[in-house]
Structure 1
Amino acid sequence: ARRVLKQGTDVHLTPREYQLLLALASQRGKVLTHRQLLREVWGPAHVESPHYLRIYMRALRAKIEDDPARPRWLLTEIGIGYRFADDD
């Protein structure tokens, strides 16, 4: 089952949000470019559509970050992409 918990509470994610979180978390600590994420989550037809990514990252942060304006887990690498923070 695909389940995401935040402090022991279930977090409802859309299938696309789940795919995005999985793509980032499976490469923890590694920067994934906008193009890599778009290709993996939306498919090759959308690699030139970064606005999709911004919208979904905002929604995902709102659901899993304690303070979405100052994320601890879903980090932006300006001009490059995003990464899921390593806990070290």
Structure 2
Amino acid sequence: MANTTQSAKRARQNERRFAVNKARRSRIRTYLRKVEEAIASGDQNAAQEALKAAQPELMRGVSKGVFHKNTASRKMSRLAHRVKTLG
């Protein structure tokens, strides 16, 4: 429980940021899952389109502080490599 008005405000802000970040992280995971599903189906064109759609979402997550830059780069690199090897 917050003891001061400052800590109470901080707790409210943290709850709000947590909700926003959770929604953003969920959205990014959805895009990544679509790429995974396209790769699993073996359709390279669909996988490339899904990857193109996922990349800006992932980088937006980096700029908003949801993911670390290297984490996002690693995920993109690995997905791109898997999409490339489909063909």
Superposition TM-score, scaled by structure 2 size: 0.36
Which protein has the bigger helix share?
Answer: 2
Q: Say which one has the larger Rg.
A: 2
Superposition TM-score, scaled by structure 1 size: 0.36
